[in-house]
Amino acid sequence: MVPVWGDACDTGGALQGLTILEFADFISGPYCSRLMAGLGATVIKVEEPGGGDPARRYGPFPWNNPGAEASGLFLYLNASKSGITLNLHTERGLAVFKELVRRSDVFVVNHPRRMVGRLGIGYRSLRKINPALVYVSITPFGSSGPARHRKGNNLIAFHSGGMASFTPDWVEDRETMPPLQAGGHQADFAAGIVGAMAALGALYGRTAGRGCLVDISEQEVVAFALARSIAFYSYEGIRQDRKKQSRTMEGPVPCRDGYVEFHVVEDSHWQAFREVIGNPGWSARPEFQTYVDRCRNWKALERNLVGWTVQHTRQEIYHLMQAHRVAFGPVNTAVDVLQSPQTAARGYFTDIEHTVAGKLKYPGPPFKLSGAPPSRPAPLLGQHNREVYEGMLGMPAEELADLQRAGIV
């Protein structure tokens, strides 16, 4: 049952009372569920007995000591969830899984479509068990179209979605600077965000006990960010991609302790910038006096600019330029963000004590809701089997022990 939104924030989270069943691994599906767990939903994560989610084998690991219960990636993505083991490839395991489906509001899955079909846990099958179920499917290419059965990963989604045609965003030689995916797993995380957002919309619109299918294509999630470029081609026939020649007059430039972002576009800002750095002779050259000229002569400008920036730190430049309303900003590292007074003031990074990994600092949910529950540690493999099977499903202890002996749980 969907909670009363206006009251939920003060009673344990906006999604308190909702149950999310997750049968997903690595990033996209688990991040989708993690966001809803941060809003107070009860999330039950289903893993295969033995190995569990492959993310358990990805680092970083505390003190560089690999272990299935200490993966930084897994611990972050699965905080605040209950974890159970269940072998869906067995008849008894599948029957238990369907009992969990009956008691769930949302089901999140990101396994290949062929595997989902073989197990008989597609949307059409599960809605017969629970007509009110919101079924969230996250796959590389969606559940329809000629590519629906193709496998993929973050790299494939990023390139097939067209984003790599802009990274890096400028090149002088296309032969020596091929397209690149952006750092991290941006397509996977973005798909998780879109999946959670769509699931909440489906829950809000759920009426008369009828759920729906939320069909997420990672390719389309990436392509959605290209709306402006697609419009240029659709409306004017202009094909935008990595720039062939001169770049715009902006970008990261080196300084004493890293890089700063230079984004002086307006001519009035350029004049203010000149005053800040003492009006050196080179800054008065005609080829630097208008934005167009500065773009055309960026290489020459950059050489002179770096001569000044390397004498100062990021924070020195940032605060000096900010005081004179000139657009500069520090290019922060992960450590800078972790130690930022701003993130500290908002309590974004939180310490979570884990049985195996110990006390570590994690990013919190990317939102703040009054009354939201604090994050709990990610589950050990099968940690909540008894709580879910005996407590939620009412399974006798003898039956659970029998399933464990058979390797089904």
Percent of the chain at pLDDT exceeding 70: 92
Give the model confidence (pLDDT) of 198-243 as tens digits: 999 999 998 778 999 999 999 999 998 887 777 777 777 777 666 6
Rounded mean pLDDT, 289-312: 91
- Of 273, 327, 332, the residue nearest 305 (C-alpha): 273
Mean residue pLDDT of the chain comes to 90
Report pLDDT for 283. Answer: 94
- Higher-pLDDT residue of 317 and 2 is 317
Reference 50, options 77, 101, 89, 103; nearest CA is 89
Query: For the residues of 22-40, what is the DSSP string, one character each?
Result: EE--TTHHHHHHHHHHTTT
List CB contacts of 190: < 8 A, sequence separation 6 or more: 218, 221, 222
Q: How far apart are CA 261 and CA 39, in angstroms?
A: 35
Q: Please report the beta strands in 293-382, taking only residues with DSSP state E, as ranges in sequence order.
A: 328-330, 349-354, 358-363
Per residue in 51-69, pLDDT (tens digit) is: 999 999 998 999 888 999 9
What are phi and psi for residue 391, nearest 5 degrees? -75, -50
CATH of 251-333, one of 1.10.3720.10, 3.30.1540.10, 3.30.70.520, 3.90.226.10: 3.30.1540.10
Number of other CB atoms surrounding residue 251 within 10 Å: 14
Residue showing tokens 């493999």: 381
Q: For residue 369, what are its two tokens? A: 């809701």
Q: CA nearest 29: which of 105, 115, 121, 140?
A: 140
- pTM, 2 dp: 0.91
Tokens standing for 186?
């941006």
Q: What's the pLDDT score for residue 1?
A: 40
Angle made by CA atoms 401, 405, 407, in degrees to the nearest 5: 115
Six-digit token pair at 94? Answer: 């599948």
Kindly tell me the burial class for residue 136, based on how many C-beta atoms sit within 10 Å of its own C-beta (0-12, 13-18, 19 or more): buried
CATH class of segment(s) 5-226+347-405: alpha beta
* 251-333 shares the fold of 5-226+347-405: no
Q: Mean pLDDT over residues 256-266, rounded?
A: 91
Q: Where are the domains of the chain?
A: 5-226+347-405, 251-333
Interval 156-174: pLDDT, tens:
999 999 888 777 766 666 6
